């Protein structure tokens, strides 16, 4: 039997994919090519060529573009998601937790959107009785909306503290420190949607 050929990555296709991702992210932020170039500290011609799939950008340049677009390098480089995807109930990805944490801090987090998706993530979280991450608040770029499906969720965002019951939803920017606590005598189930764009 003859050996099968080993697929070789198509550099032109990778540059074209990167250029398309840069252009899509720039348009979402309503930036002109000149504005993106100035923010990233690169030339206007370079951005224009890249968006047309031309060039050989360095990792340092890609990092500058990603930062200017409010994205990580991995978000900018990952394969674009399909325009239609289904995640079956039995095939949800469970986001790992730190096994060193006590049982009361072991939140079960299930990703309901595809793993490669970066523009929007929907996560179903089940918080055990007594859960609180006050000592380890979250802080990252993005916007989050959380809806309580069962139980009571205490949300502290900066200096604000609120309590949500079933059906209640809170939306907040994630660059401010924020943390959750289960305010019920039963597990609290939360449906959260996270976008990398700050509100």
pLDDT digits 0-9 by tens, 158-194: 999 999 999 999 999 998 999 999 999 999 999 999 9
CATH 3.40.1350.10 assigned to domain 89-195? The reply is no
Half-sphere exposure of 33 (CA within 13 A, CB side): 13
DSSP state at residue 175: T
Cβ density class 136-169: b for 16+ within 10 Å, e for less: eeeeeebbbebbbeebbbbbbbeeeeeebeeeee
Predicted local confidence at residue 53, as pLDDT = 87
pLDDT of residue 24: 82
Max mean pLDDT among 11-25, 47-61, 101-115, 149-163 falls in: 149-163
Provide the mean pLDDT of the chain. 85
Q: Is 8 exposed, middle or buried (0-12, 13-18, 19+ CB in 10 A)?
A: exposed
| Predicted pLDDT at 86 | 85
How far apart are the C-alpha atoms of 45 and 159, rounded to whole Å?
A: 45
Which superfamily, per CATH, for 11-77?
lambda repressor-like DNA-binding domains (1.10.260.40)
Phi, psi of 138 (to 5 degrees): -85, 150
Q: pLDDT category, 5, cuts 50, 70, 90?
A: very low
Q: What is the mean pLDDT of residues 142-146?
A: 94
Whole-number Å distance between alpha carbons of 178 and 87: 28
pLDDT at 198 over 80: no
Whether pLDDT at 7 is above 60 = no
Q: How far, in Å, CA of 30 to CA of 39, rounded?
A: 13
Q: Return the domain boundaries, the chain.
A: 11-77, 89-195
pLDDT in tens, 65-106: 988 888 888 777 776 656 678 889 998 888 877 777 787 778
pLDDT tops 60 at residue 18: yes
In this prediction, residues 119-126 reach a mean pLDDT of 92
Most confident of 29-33, 94-98, 148-152: 148-152
Beta carbons within 8 Å of 91's beta carbon, 6+ residues apart: none
CA angle, 51 then 196 then 110, to 5°: 125
Residue 144: band (very low, low, confident or very high) from pLDDT cuts 50, 70, 90: very high
Which one has a higher pLDDT value, 1 or 34?
Answer: 34
């Amino acid at each position: 039997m003859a050996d099968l050929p080993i697929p070789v990555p198509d550099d032109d296709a990778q540059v074209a994919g990167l250029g398309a991702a840069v252009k899509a992210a720039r348009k979402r932020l309503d930036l002109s090519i000149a504005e993106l170039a100035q923010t990233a500290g690169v030339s206007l011609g370079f951005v224009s060529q890249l968006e047309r799939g031309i060039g050989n950008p360095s990792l340092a340049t890609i990092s500058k573009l990603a930062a200017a677009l409010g994205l990580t390098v991995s978000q900018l480089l990952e394969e674009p998601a399909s325009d239609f995807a289904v995640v079956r109930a039995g095939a949800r990805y469970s986001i790992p937790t730190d096994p060193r944490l006590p049982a009361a801090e072991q939140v079960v987090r299930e990703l309901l959107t595809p793993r490669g998706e970066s523009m929007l993530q929907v996560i179903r979280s089940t918080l055990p009785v007594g859960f609180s991450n006050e000592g380890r608040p979250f802080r990252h770029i993005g916007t989050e909306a959380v809806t309580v499906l069962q139980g009571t969720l205490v949300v502290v965002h900066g200096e604000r503290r609120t309590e949500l019951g079933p059906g209640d939803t809170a939306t907040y920017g994630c660059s401010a420190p924020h943390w959750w606590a289960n305010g019920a005598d039963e597990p609290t189930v939360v449906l959260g949607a996270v976008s990398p764009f700050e509100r």
